[in-house]
Chain A
């Protein structure tokens, strides 16, 4: 995308359009090579919004009927406002080049499954890959979007001043430092070395940009309580939101969880005599199922989706949250939240 920043060629005086972030350009009139310096400008990309208001309402209605939300939500929800807005995101693409050395522990068991030996298996892993990192560049409040999940779409030549946007509140230099550090951590983690004895990881930024991404924010009322949802303006997916849960589902999961947890725990107690390890494992498993179903029962009156702090959650969901930086690949989800 080209943005005119209104400079004249120092050789012929011709007006030039400069692609933001470029350091060297060739004058289209006289071929003079021009060097630009001291500019803190960032290459900026704005995605086109593909979703109309009608489509956003229809997507929201579809979302009301999914997962464990209140069964009458579709019928009783009253949309109070729905509007499009552009959210700014920092995006860094960088190459990581380094080595991570260390070891993993290999446990050996005897016949009664007691650990007899712990063997250290040495590891040395090279990381030489490109990573992408994104993070929201503003304080968007609790709208459940912290990083970009999609980087495919049509861009538009538009000025952020002419379109409603959230203002960028984090500095470019802070974002660069944070991006480098997050990519370094992710690169080290990607080596998969459990116990690290040596590491050296260079992070070489390849590009850094600001992306304005369209989202629809919808607020709706259900039984006198306010909820919200966020719709991706490029992919037409509901990416985050809060919705009322359903009492029937809560009760069913509580009952089912208590029964299943109880059966597994009982089996565990019964097995302890013949196989202590397996018995204890089953006992703990049953207890976890019971606790998980209780947590859903207690907090499941509200269903949350997206990058919103959940009141309850299973261990698997926590693992998903930390895997939000991905190796560069077209069409992949990119992100840079918690590591």
Chain B
């Protein structure tokens, strides 16, 4: 077994912390890296708290994945058959994947909130507010993004019977979204 002290892949600064996390942010140069099969550097940002609520403040990590979707063929039956109009459609969108261990219900709620609701936020570069450890790796996030794309298509009017689509990932970054811990539940602070 290989045992190494975590160090920044950019400035080689060594990491010291009491909490463990899959996403390491260097205190020296601010670089964020994730270790899975290999060490990868990702862009990231913190969104400022805009709501004042009672509860402990945390930053909740999300994967923000920009994808290009190309629906080559789809067969939809039932109401309006509107989804047939998608044939050959191409579009870009940002999908937000909660990167913490959460229930399926919370996953969908938070993912939909950030993906579809245009939330107003400002960005700050650094913060002392604790981060919830990232638990969803890059590969897992890609699978979940694919699932959400399919969900958005399936939830359009009509009953999906067949779909052939392509999802191309253009960009991946990690965003830390403000959250309050209230009665053992996280509430988005935007």
B2 touches A37 (CB 8 A): yes
- Distance, CA A124 to CA B163, complexed state (A): 12
Q: Does B144 contact A (CB under 8 A)?
A: yes
Contacts of A128 in B (CB 8 A): 104, 107-108, 147
Contacts of A280 in B (CB 8 A): none
Near A by CB (< 8 A), chain B positions 122-158 give 140, 143-144, 146-147, 150-151, 154
The chain B residue with its CB closest to the CB of A200 is: B150
A 88-108 to B, binary, CB cutoff 8 A, 1 in contact else 0: 000000010111011100000
Residue among B6, B15, B161 making CB contact with A103, cutoff 8 Å: B161
- Distance, CA A102 to CA B160, complexed state (A): 8
Contacts of B53 in A (CB 8 A): none
Contacts of B151 in A (CB 8 A): 99, 126
The chain A residue with its CB closest to the CB of B77 is: A122
The chain B residue with its CB closest to the CB of A31 is: B16
B 171-190 to A, binary, CB cutoff 8 A, 1 in contact else 0: 00000000000000000000
A35 touching B6 in the complex, CB below 8 Å, given contacts A122-B161, A124-B154, A197-B161:
yes
Contacts of A206 in B (CB 8 A): 101
Q: Does A30 contact B (CB under 8 A)?
A: yes
One of A5-13, A72-80, A136-144 at the interface:
A5-13
Give, as a whole number of angstroms, the nearest-CB distance from B6 to chain A. Answer: 4
Give, as a whole number of angstroms, the nearest-CB distance from B30 to chain A. Answer: 17
Q: Does A39 contact B (CB under 8 A)?
A: yes
One of B18-26, B44-52, B56-64, B84-92 at the interface:
B18-26
A204 touching B1 in the complex, CB below 8 Å, given contacts A26-B20, A33-B20, A198-B160:
no
Q: Does B29 contact A (CB under 8 A)?
A: no
B16 touches A198 (CB 8 A): no
A204 touching B144 in the complex, CB below 8 Å, given contacts A26-B18, A101-B154:
yes
Q: Does B35 contact A (CB under 8 A)?
A: yes
Contacts of A101 in B (CB 8 A): 154, 159-163
- Distance, CA A11 to CA B144, complexed state (A): 37
Categorize the interface residue count of chain B. 35 or more
Contacts of A97 in B (CB 8 A): 143-144, 147
Q: Does A132 contact B (CB under 8 A)?
A: no
B20 touches A102 (CB 8 A): no
A 102-140 to B, binary, CB cutoff 8 A, 1 in contact else 0: 110000000000000000001110101110000000000
The chain B residue with its CB closest to the CB of A206 is: B101
Contacts of A38 in B (CB 8 A): 1-2
A31 touching B4 in the complex, CB below 8 Å, given contacts A97-B147, A130-B104:
no
Give, as a whole number of angstroms, the nearest-CB distance from A195 to chain B. Answer: 10
The chain A residue with its CB closest to the CB of B142 is: A202
B 104-126 to A, binary, CB cutoff 8 A, 1 in contact else 0: 10011000000000000000000
Q: Does A57 contact B (CB under 8 A)?
A: no
A99 touches B160 (CB 8 A): yes
A102 touching B161 in the complex, CB below 8 Å, given contacts A7-B1, A122-B77, A129-B104:
yes
A99 touches B150 (CB 8 A): yes
Q: Does A163 contact B (CB under 8 A)?
A: no
Q: Does B14 contact A (CB under 8 A)?
A: yes
- Distance, CA A202 to CA B151, complexed state (A): 13
Contacts of B147 in A (CB 8 A): 97-98, 128, 200, 202
Q: Does A24 contact B (CB under 8 A)?
A: yes
Q: What are 8 sample pairs from A and B whose C-beta atoms fall under 8 A apart? A: A10-B4, A23-B35, A31-B16, A34-B6, A36-B2, A101-B163, A122-B77, A202-B144
Closest 7 CB pairs of A and B: A122-B159, A97-B147, A33-B15, A33-B6, A39-B1, A202-B143, A31-B16
> Which residues on B are within 8 Å of A, measured CB to CB?
1-6, 14-22, 24, 35, 75, 77-78, 101, 104, 107-108, 140, 143-144, 146-147, 150-151, 154, 159-163
Given contacts A33-B20, A97-B143, 14 further A-B contacts (CB under 8 A): A24-B21, A26-B18, A32-B6, A33-B15, A33-B16, A35-B3, A38-B2, A39-B1, A95-B104, A99-B154, A123-B159, A124-B159, A200-B150, A204-B144
